Amino acid sequence: MVSVADYIKRVRSPRLTLIIILLILITIFPIFTTNYYVLSILISANVFAVFAASWDMLAGVTGQFSFGQALFFGVAAYMSGALNLFLGIPPLITIPLGGAFGVVVGFLVGLPSLRLKGRFFTITSLIFPGILSVLIGENPDLLGGETEFYGLAPISSEIWITYYGSVILMLLSVFILTRIATSNIGLIFRSIRDDEDAAEATGINTTKYKFLSFAISGFFAGIAGGFQAHLLMFVGPYVFNIFYSLQAMTTAALGGIGTIIGAVVGSYLMSILNELLRDMVSFRVIITAIMMLLIFRFLPRGILRAITRQFKAPLGMWRGLKKLRRKEDGHNP
């Protein structure tokens, strides 16, 4: 029987197995239901997966624990919105342009932020989205103020097309981010995370690579922001809210910081949780906050690692049994 059992034996990675099962489920999901509501939940789960993964690149891989990821998300959402609304450029082009703008902002913010470390960096990264939120929220002439940025073109009139759009966006982004994280550049990023002085001492231009990480992170956060803007067909100062940044952080950490793929797992879990709590609006923030507290206090390496560790034990036992049986059969591979 060339089956799942065979496959697991060959791959030997419960995490990869989990990911492949998840992938198949995501791809064939519209077969089960084309319910508008269910699909739109999954779409925003995909968008947030990209957003959280972009933060994971900067924080989890490079060690720059930014508290202001909503900045990239927000400026790109506004950029995409403005391009679409004023110049009539279709979403397919405005979204990547939003990402490009995220890169520009990543450089601009990186300029002062990279001079700072630890607590100084944390506070500074918190400030920038706050500035824009205040500027835009209280100046109606500037970018429509609190409310007047409606009427963006939707991604597609068909919900299932939008769904596949978000799936492609998510898969591509996560694939590219994972490739970067496992490449030589990723290795340099991780060396900066683990010991910046040592990295510097081995001749790495740490400032250059931190800039690069900011740019990459800004790009993917920007793409997510642009997609979100077209999805809701509306942009407002809400995009700079600190809770967006916190959500990205919690999502990535729920799945596992520094794993990139953890952001996807975290995002889907968060969506499920949000749906379970839908009828308890007044408890929603508190439960999210409690979860955030518990994750960062007790489960910093994320749920993905906790689960796979649980899986590994029985799987190993099963492999051991198979080996024993083969010996008894006199089979000699």
Partner 1 sequence: MIEEIVISSLILGGLYSLLSIGFSLISGVARIMNFAHGAFYLITAYLIYTLLPLGLGIAIIISLIIAIFLGLLIYRVLIGPLREKEARVALVTIALALIFQETIKLIYGPQIISIPILISGTTSIWGVIVTNQKLLALAVAIATVSFLWILIRRTKRGKAIQAVAQNMDVARLVGINIRSVLMTSMAISILLAGIAAVLFAPTWSVSPTEWTILFRAFPVIILGGIGSIKGSFVAAFILATVEKVVEFTFGGGNIVEIATFALMITVIFLRPQGLFGKSSR
Q: Which residues bind partner 1 (CB under 8 A)?
A: 59, 65, 67, 112, 115-120, 122-124, 126-127, 130-131, 134-135, 138-139, 246, 249-250, 253, 282-283, 285-286, 288-290, 292-293, 296-297, 300
Contact between 62 and 210 (Cβ < 8 Å):
yes
Q: Which is nearer to partner 1, 30 or 129 (CB)?
A: 129
Provide the terminal-to-terminal Cα distance of the chain, rounded to the nearest Å: 17
Q: Which is nearer to partner 1, 211 or 296 (CB)?
A: 296
Taking only Cα atoms into account, the Rg of the chain, rounded to an integer number of angstroms, comes to 22
Q: Which is nearer to partner 1, 89 or 303 (CB)?
A: 303
Minimum distance, C-beta of residue 73 to partner 1, in the bound complex (Å): 18
What the block records as the tokens of 116 is 């700072």
Contact between 96 and 157 (Cβ < 8 Å):
no
Conformational region of residue 143, where left means phi above 0, alpha means psi within -120 to 50, and beta covers everything else:
left
Q: Which is nearer to partner 1, 50 or 248 (CB)?
A: 248
d(CA 306, CA 256): 9
Residue where the block lists tokens 């990209």 = 50
Minimum distance, C-beta of residue 221 to partner 1, in the bound complex (Å): 18
97-115 CB burial, b ≥16 within 10 A, e <16: bbbbbbbbbbeebbeebbe
Residue where the block lists tokens 């051991």 = 320
Residue where the block lists tokens 């950029």 = 79
- Enter the DSSP assignment of 141: T
Minimum distance, C-beta of residue 116 to partner 1, in the bound complex (Å): 5
Q: Which is nearer to partner 1, 90 or 112 (CB)?
A: 112
The HSE-up count of residue 40 (CA atoms within 13 Å, CB side) is 13
Minimum distance, C-beta of residue 138 to partner 1, in the bound complex (Å): 4
List of residues 6+ apart from 165 with CB closer than 8 A: 155, 156, 227
> Helix or strand or coil: residue 240?
helix
Minimum distance, C-beta of residue 191 to partner 1, in the bound complex (Å): 18
Minimum distance, C-beta of residue 235 to partner 1, in the bound complex (Å): 19
Minimum distance, C-beta of residue 270 to partner 1, in the bound complex (Å): 14
Q: At what angle do helices 206-232 and 184-194 cross, to 10 degrees?
A: 110
Q: Which is nearer to partner 1, 238 or 296 (CB)?
A: 296
Minimum distance, C-beta of residue 285 to partner 1, in the bound complex (Å): 5
Minimum distance, C-beta of residue 47 to partner 1, in the bound complex (Å): 22
Tell me which residue of 107, 119, 49, 47 sits closest to 77, measured CA to CA.
47
Q: Which is nearer to partner 1, 117 or 179 (CB)?
A: 117
Neighbours of 232 (CB within 10 A): 17
Q: Which is nearer to partner 1, 83 or 249 (CB)?
A: 249
Q: Which is nearer to partner 1, 86 or 298 (CB)?
A: 298
